[in-house]
């Protein structure tokens, strides 16, 4: 066989081999495109898989809502754990103090009925009456410390050796939830579920977020967590924008509480999720049986801001229109005498 013939044979083999490789890759990509698992979503309450009703006593804090109206059919954390089991269950509860010794906290039932769950409960409040109903187990630790974005990783997560892939992260600090969650997720901690509170005064798609400043965190008047103003936390859409960048999807809204789940878990376990923030907010907050009562609570509903939002959404200068209203409510720093900075947009 001469050299020229040998070269033609090699070229032919390489060409056929290349075609085979191209065909194999194309087939894999096309198969993935056609059969890629997707989220199961619901658009209306009728499409939603019904869940058992239970009394969520935390809703009683909204105002004069009677107990028989404090009904929820949202996911409970204990139900989620039964649906998606965890090999090494671990909970971090930031803001664990609660009425009746912790009984109003969303993690209470989970910790009492699931002994395998280890937990770190964190709160600066040292009043034992706010914790004494939590189970007394060796795998549950309660610490009293202030939580700030610039210290959370070193003083809590690293000091107490929190696993990177913990099961549940619950955050309730009535102020800088957005900033705190972003800090934790940027440090590569990936809870399966995130349970947190949001500010329902700013409905989707409004982005509202108090801007955190470590030098003026103590001295706002009134304090962000005061009951008299709308600055106590970020909006639902602000939260969703942050956690979605780390591949989380909104799972449920239960009045001012929201649960997020890792997207891959929702896909793998065929967990149904709302199609978007607006649908979740409408079903979980506006249509909640306690909502008519809670409209009397300025921390949950502000007529002036609600009216301003509707007007501003019809204008091209939404941000400027809203700032004229929100600056009236902005806390003042006793150090610098400036108003609390914030983000407002759509």
Total of domains in the chain: 1
* Whole-angstrom distance, CA of residue 166 vs CA of residue 190: 7
Q: Which of 174, 196, 200, 345 is nearest to 286 (CA)?
A: 200
How do beta strands 220-221 and 332-333 pair?
antiparallel
Q: Is residue 35 part of a domain?
A: no
pTM equals 0.88
Q: Is residue 8 part of a domain?
A: no
* Whole-angstrom distance, CA of residue 275 vs CA of residue 284: 13
Q: Is residue 25 part of a domain?
A: no
Q: Is residue 264 part of a domain?
A: yes
H or E segment and range at residue 320: helix 318-329
* Whole-angstrom distance, CA of residue 222 vs CA of residue 242: 26
- Per-residue pLDDT tens digits of the chain, which is 346 residues long: 555 555 555 555 555 555 554 554 444 444 444 445 799 999 998 999 989 999 988 877 777 889 889 999 999 999 999 999 888 999 999 999 998 999 999 999 999 999 999 999 999 999 999 999 999 999 999 999 989 999 999 999 999 999 999 999 999 999 999 999 999 999 999 999 999 999 999 999 999 999 998 888 888 999 888 777 899 999 999 999 999 999 999 999 999 999 999 999 999 999 999 999 999 999 999 999 999 988 888 888 899 999 999 999 999 899 999 999 999 999 999 989 999 999 999 9
* Whole-angstrom distance, CA of residue 194 vs CA of residue 260: 5
Q: Is residue 271 part of a domain?
A: yes
Q: Is residue 18 part of a domain?
A: no
Number of alpha helices (DSSP H) and beta strands (DSSP E) in the chain: 12, 15
Residue range of the domain that includes 312? 40-345
Q: Is residue 159 part of a domain?
A: yes
- Reading the block at residue 15, the tokens are 């060409």
**Is cis: bond before 222, omega within 30 of 0?**
yes
Q: Is residue 30 part of a domain?
A: no
């Amino acid at each position: 066989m001469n050299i020229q013939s040998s070269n033609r044979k090699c070229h032919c083999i390489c060409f056929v081999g290349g075609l085979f490789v191209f065909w194999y890759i194309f087939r894999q990509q096309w198969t993935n495109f056609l059969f890629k698992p997707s989220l199961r979503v619901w658009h209306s309450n009728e499409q939603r898989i019904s869940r058992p009703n239970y009394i969520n006593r935390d809703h009683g804090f909204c105002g004069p809502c009677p107990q028989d109206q404090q009904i929820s059919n949202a996911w409970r954390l204990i139900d989620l754990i039964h649906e998606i089991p965890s090999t090494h269950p671990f909970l971090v509860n930031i803001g664990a103090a609660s009425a009746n010794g912790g009984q109003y906290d969303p993690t209470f039932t989970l910790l009492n009925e699931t002994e395998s769950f280890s937990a770190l409960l964190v709160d600066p409040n040292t009043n034992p009456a706010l914790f004494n109903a939590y189970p007394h187990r060796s795998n549950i630790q309660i610490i009293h410390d202030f939580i700030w974005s610039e210290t959370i990783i070193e003083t809590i997560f690293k000091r107490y050796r929190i696993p990177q892939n913990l099961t549940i992260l619950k955050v309730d600090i009535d102020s800088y939830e957005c900033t705190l969650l972003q800090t934790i997720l940027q440090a590569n901690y990936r809870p399966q579920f995130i349970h947190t509170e949001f500010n329902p005064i700013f409905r989707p798609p409004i982005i509202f977020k108090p801007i955190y400043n470590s030098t003026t965190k103590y001295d706002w008047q009134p304090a962000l967590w005061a009951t008299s103003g709308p600055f106590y936390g970020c909006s639902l859409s602000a939260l969703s924008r942050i956690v979605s960048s780390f591949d989380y999807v909104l799972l449920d809204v239960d009045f001012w509480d929201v649960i997020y789940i890792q997207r891959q878990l929702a896909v793998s376990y065929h967990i149904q999720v709302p199609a978007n923030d607006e649908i979740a907010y409408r079903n979980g907050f506006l249509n909640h049986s306690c909502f008519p009562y809670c409209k009397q609570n300025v921390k949950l509903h502000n007529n002036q801001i609600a009216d301003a939002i509707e007007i501003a959404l019809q204008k091209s200068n939404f941000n400027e229109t809203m700032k004229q209203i929100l600056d009236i409510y902005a806390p003042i720093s006793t150090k610098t005498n400036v108003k609390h900075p914030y983000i407002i947009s759509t």
